[in-house]
A and B are shown apart, each in its own frame.
Chain A
Amino acid sequence: MKYVFEREFDKEKNIVRINGKAAIGHCQYYNTLILKTMESFGYVDGLKIYEEVAEEANREAFSDYLKNHPEVVSLDDKLSVASDMYRTFGFGLIEFSDVDEKGAKVVAPVSHFALTWKKRWGKRSAPICYFTKGYIAAVLSAIFDKPFGSYEVKELDCISMGDRICRFEVRRI
């Protein structure tokens, strides 16, 4: 099932709204530099904050979407919409498998964040897809109606480290 992308431009305020929520465009230069900034201050785990806010913002957006689209009923349809939403926003491709309330397996054959990082800064020794980790946690918590922070997402392989695809494992905390 496809994600229904509704983008409107408010001419009075020059504000973009996607499915009713204000949105902005960010390019690869911004996205890679902001991630670099997040990990540049040793005593604050900026990447953890980045991941948590990604979960919070995407959980709200995905939950609202499900509420506004009652035709999306089955687990397969919800996962399909989540993958298509991820693709539509330009984050790359993700595929969910073995999904239930307890967790899931997810792969990302394409990741904007990992590809652009590797192109700009070279290979990493640790994964970089913190936005995707938050996104995956958001999708599962929205689908199974669990509170924020209910899922731990680990990135096992990452394109930024030279792996062929990004691979994630999700478990209920």
Chain B
Amino acid sequence: MAVDEEFIIEQLTKADLIGDERGLISFFGTYLTQIYADFSNKMFFRFQKALTPHLQKAAGVLLANAVQECGYFTFRGFIDSPDWEALMGPMIDTDEDMLYALVALCNVFGVGKLKVKELIPGERFVCVTYNSIEADGYLKEYDKSDKSQCYTLTGLSAGLMDLVYGREFPHGLNTFEAIETKCRAKGDEYCEFVVKRATF
């Protein structure tokens, strides 16, 4: 059975993610916050611009790593839950089905519409989006960039491959690395993320 992304998104967006009586959103073993995209974008872009060019790159890598870790642990909690089994279980036969299901899950969090462009199982994954919330946020504040700016989706795409094809949890983090090869913030038509096995 193929993964029905539309059905997954419809089911998951029904959940009202709001704080409980302690003001916390408990979500499959992690705590979530809902934050305005403007905050996340402006905070990081301003911070990055305050750094020297050499350190700007390092800060971008740190942010992407933060998201890679976030995706790895948060999504693992989801995969281990009975809710995941009930919703996704019947659709998932192979690792590749699992990856497509995780992409559908990413599409619930408001980062833009992510689509799989290429998948070589265990080796290479390419995904694209025409409306990355980071590229949009960058262009709202600044002129065209000379480098890619979607650090969240870069980290997230690598985190998905870590989960599906990495070593056994929790040792699979950073099995893969991603680079953003095209970005709307630098004038490309869409943003593209290429994930391959980490070389370090």
- Interface residue ranges, A against B (CB under 8 Å): 5, 7, 9, 11-16, 18, 21-31, 33-34, 37-38, 40-41, 44, 46, 49-50, 53-54, 56-58, 60-61, 86-93, 110, 112, 115-116
Considering the complex, give the chain A residue whose CB is closest to the CB of B129: A14
B11-67 CB contacts (< 8 Å) to partner A: 13, 16-19, 22-25, 27, 30-40, 42-44, 46-47, 50-51, 55, 59, 62-63, 65-67
Shortest CB–CB separation between residue B22 and chain A, in angstroms? 5
The number of residues on chain B lying at the interface, defined by a beta carbon within 8 Å of a beta carbon of chain A, is 51
Among A7, A25, A34, A60, the most chain B Cβ lie within 10 Å of the Cβ of A25
Residue of B9, B16, B109, B114 near A24 (CB, 8 A) is B109
Residue of B33, B59, B113 near A90 (CB, 8 A) is B33
Asked whether any CB of chain A lies closer than 8 Å to the CB of B69, the reply is yes
Further pairs besides A16-B109, A37-B66: 9, Cβ < 8 Å:
A14-B113, A15-B133, A24-B152, A25-B17, A53-B42, A57-B38, A88-B19, A90-B19, A90-B24
Shortest CB–CB separation between residue B153 and chain A, in angstroms? 11
Contacts A14-B9, A26-B35, A53-B43 hold; do A86 and B51 have CB atoms under 8 A apart?
A: no
Does A44 contact B50, Cβ atoms closer than 8 Å?
yes
Find chain A residues with CB under 8 A from B42 CB.
53, 56-57
Residue of B38, B39, B114 near A14 (CB, 8 A) is B114
Does B73 contact A9, Cβ atoms closer than 8 Å?
no
Does B59 contact A15, Cβ atoms closer than 8 Å?
no
Does B36 contact A57, Cβ atoms closer than 8 Å?
yes
Does A54 contact B39, Cβ atoms closer than 8 Å?
yes
Considering the complex, give the chain A residue whose CB is closest to the CB of B55: A41
Does A22 contact B38, Cβ atoms closer than 8 Å?
yes
Does B67 contact A30, Cβ atoms closer than 8 Å?
yes
Contacts A30-B66, A44-B50 hold; do A92 and B35 have CB atoms under 8 A apart?
A: no
Shortest CB–CB separation between residue B55 and chain A, in angstroms? 6
Among B19, B40, B67, the most chain A Cβ lie within 10 Å of the Cβ of B19
Does A93 contact B22, Cβ atoms closer than 8 Å?
yes
Considering the complex, give the chain A residue whose CB is closest to the CB of B65: A33
A23 to B34, CA, bound (A): 7
Chain B 140-153 against A: per-residue CB contact (8 Å), 1 yes, 0 no? 00000000000010
Contacts A14-B9, A46-B47 hold; do A90 and B31 have CB atoms under 8 A apart?
A: yes
Does A41 contact B36, Cβ atoms closer than 8 Å?
no
Does A24 contact B133, Cβ atoms closer than 8 Å?
yes
Asked whether any CB of chain A lies closer than 8 Å to the CB of B131, the reply is yes
Residue of A16, A28, A88 near B31 (CB, 8 A) is A28
11 residue pairs bridging A and B, Cβ less than 8 Å apart? A5-B18, A9-B9, A9-B108, A14-B107, A16-B34, A25-B27, A34-B43, A49-B47, A61-B36, A92-B19, A112-B33
